[in-house]
Structure 1
Amino acid sequence: MSLRLIFMGTPDFAVPTLLELVAHGHEVVAVYTRAPKPGGRRGLQLQPTPVEQEARRLNIPVLTPKTLKTAEALDEFRAHEADAAVVVAYGMILPQAILDAPKLGCFNLHASLLPRWRGAAPINRAIMAGDAESGVMVMKMDVGLDTGDVAMAERLPISDSMTAADLHDALAPLGADLMVRAMGGLERGGLQLTRQSADGVTYAAKIEKAEARIDWHQPAHAVLRHIHGLSPFPGAWCELAGEGEPVRLKILRCELAKGSGAPGDVLDDNLAIACGDGAIRILELQRAGKAPMKAADFLRGTPLKPPARLV
């Protein structure tokens, strides 16, 4: 026996869950995703979402409605006669009528340990806040912002070497496995739901560009977590001070280093940078308009040593 499912998702993070549900024999009768956007080298071609690409490869019907709030959208959704809907980073609010349409409900995979980091950017915020761990949770959706009852969870430690991309790539398959287990429990009628605690609620607001500039006056560990939480996108940045136009640098990966100095000072010829307390060493970075590169490659073209300074 398998469930008849609607899958709703958009980015790369959602793809492993779609693939695992299909691999475990569930009947995915329709995939809902966001409409293609202009992309490519000149932005002239419409680029389907990663989920749409996989759905079409699997010959699953794809729908890209602009809204789910119309009677027509509801009728179309109900016509699939799904047992449940699985939602992973879909990017659109589901109104109550849609949530009520599948007979067993709608289930969301969220990349945090709820109720911590409800909202849009849980992976980034967990790293930036210095959290020791993150994880994934399956919850039955309600109309609140990630407020539904939780079914299952998996935890994952966050190391200081982890960037947002690293954590994303670790949580995506973990979440896929968790959702498959949750749908197995739902199919057997044994999925237990637990109400979220009212304590420890935090919100993972969307990352704003204004947050991306590095503040070298912060302690080294805070600077490191800020850099890693924004890597690779939008990328924490600073400028190389000096004569002429400042050179903007995105810092993509770093480590804690020994040394001290005025915040932003280059401490040696191997990209150790002083912070408000302690120092970090830059491992990967990107000049504006250039590809990301290792620090050693950057230094071959742009030797930096004291008294150079980043601001």
Structure 2
Amino acid sequence: MRIIFMGTPDFSVPILQALVDAGHDVVASYSQPPRRAGRGKTLTPTPVHARAEALGIPVRTPVTLRDPAAQAEFAGFAADLAVVAAYGLILPRAILNAPAHGCLNVHASLLPRWRGAAPIQRAILAGDAATGVCIMQMEAGLDTGPVLLRDETPIGAKTAGMMTDELSAMGARLMITTLADLPAYPPIVQPEDGVTYAAKIDKAETRLDFAQDAAAVERQTRAFNPPGAWFEIGGERVRVLAAEIVRSSGAPAPQDGTDNATGSVLDADLTIACAEGAIRPTLLQRAGRGVMTAPELLRGFAIPVGTQL
């Protein structure tokens, strides 16, 4: 099958690779334009861009697909199908209609729950018991199209990074299964009940909010790993990559400046009071340093009991 692949981050790479390994003719790969990254602000291609070039697949990186010239070039590939996985650009109707069989999207949620940009993080933050992948026929609405195939997996104590890897592999498997016998998977219209939206993550959300209960704060550490949720002390940000709930229930922490005030350090093990309960970071990272345990951090970076974070 002649396929145009459209994706950008690491999540998308295994899906592109699976299409190639399955023998499909990937005639072009579309990705977000290269961006400056790293200390040297070097112009860096996206993960999909890099993998496509390594596979010898022509790469296109338009800033928009609303330009008629970009639409004509897309149509000129004469694809049977476009496979989309976390591409990051809105597809106008001219793009959706260009391939003979339209566009199929690998979406990392159990639609109609968590339509939108950040379904993995939102599912973890909300405390969902499970999430999954849907292979969806794309239409003009935001992740509103009918679903051809889906699978799910428990979230448990997984981080966003773990879930991304797992759901990427699941999406690759489901897409290859779908394409092996496309007529066998008739599109099923999404129900109107249960729709939620996974808004793009704002950087401010990655700051640990100790005004929540301990369970919600612990979910923050998993939802934002990578790159890591954080707290601030002495003007320095410290990332928390993992934490344990050490007291999950009880009276809300006092707000009168006492040692048990929300966000205060309760003991020498870096237990931190939340609005209800407390958490203890287990893996942390200072700027420019490696990942370390709480005891390792505290040996060279004192955080006294009573410190307000």
1:222 equivalent in alignment to 2:216: yes
1:249 to 218, 238, 261: 238
Partner of 1:23: 21
Which residue matches 1:309? 307
In 1, the alpha carbon distance for the partners of 2:129 and 2:7 equals 28
Partners of 2:181 and 2:295 in 1: how far apart?
Answer: 51
The CA distance in 2 between the partners of 1:12 and 1:72, in whole Å, is 28
Q: Distance in 2 between matches of 1:268 and 1:70?
A: 59
| CA contact 1:239–1:310 (8 Å) conserved in 2 | no
Could you say what secondary structure the match of 1:249 adopts? strand
Q: Distance in 1 between matches of 2:64 and 2:128?
A: 35
Residue identity matched to 2:23: G
Q: Deviations over 1:111-163 (max 9, x none)?
A: 1111111111111111111111111111000010000101111101111x322
- SS of equivalent residue, structure 1 residue 74: helix
User: For 1:192-216, what per-residue CA distance to the aligned partner results, in whole angstroms no more than 9, with x for missing partners?
Assistant: 1100111111111111122222222
Amino acid at match of 1:284: L
Q: Report the equivalent of 1:13.
A: 11
Report matched runs for 1:44-63 at 5 Å.
Answer: 45-63=42-60
Distance in 2 separating the partners of 1:50 and 1:248: 28
Structure-2 residue corresponding to 1:239: 232
Match of 2:160 among 150, 159, 164: 164
**In 2, distance between residues paired with 1:302 and 1:29?**
53
1:107 Cα offset (Å)? 0.3
In the alignment, what sits opposite 2:273?
A: 274
Matches within 5 A, 1:1-311: 3-43=1-41, 45-159=42-156, 161-186=157-182, 189-233=183-227, 235-240=228-233, 245-258=234-247, 261-304=260-303, 307-311=305-309
- Letter paired with 2:232: E
Residue 109 of structure 1 deviates from its aligned partner by 0.4
Q: Once the 2 structures are TM-superposed, how far is the Cα of residue 289 of structure 1 from its aligned partner?
A: 4.2
3-state SS of 2:184 partner = coil
TM-score by length of 2: 0.91
Unpaired runs of at least 5, structure 2: 251-259
1:246 to partner: Cα distance: 4.1
Aligned length: 299
The amino acid that maps onto 1:207 is I
Task: Decide whether aligned partners of structure 1 residues 111 and 190 sit closer, same or farther in structure 2, where only a CA change above 3 A counts.
Answer: same
Q: State the AA in 2 paired with 1:16.
A: P
Whole-Å Cα distance in 1 between the matches of residues 262 and 46 of structure 2? 42
Displacement of 1:29: 0.8
Mapped partners of 1:39, 1:213: distance in 2: 22
Displacement after TM superposition at 1:226 (Å): 1.8
Q: Which residue identity is paired with 1:229?
A: A
Q: Which stretch of structure 1 is more off in the superposition, 246-255 or 17-26? A: 246-255
Structure 1 residues 71 and 304, CA gap change in structure 2 (3 angstroms) = closer
Secondary structure in 2 aligned to 1:42? coil
Deviation at 1:272, TM superposition (A): 2.0
Shift of 1:303: 4.0
Answer whether contact 1:269 1:303 (CA < 8 A) is retained: no
Do the aligned residues in 1 keep the contact of 2:93 with 2:140 (CA within 8 Å)?
yes
1:228-281 Cα shifts (integer Å, max 9, x gaps): 212223x322233xxxx4443222211111487432232332222222222211
Identity of counterpart residues, as a percentage?
51
How big is the shift at 1:6?
0.6
Report if aligned partners of 2:214, 2:247 keep a CA contact under 8 Å in 1. Answer: no
Deviations 1:28-67 (A, max 9, x none): 1111111111234311x32111111111111111111222
Which consecutive unaligned segments of at least 5 residues does structure 1 have? none
Given that 1:69 and 1:95 are in contact with CA atoms closer than 8 Å, whether structure 2 keeps it comes out as: yes
CA-based RMSD of the aligned residues comes to: 1.7
> What amino acid maps onto 1:99 in structure 2?
L
The answer on whether the counterparts of 1:7 and 1:87 sit within 8 Å (CA) in structure 2 is yes
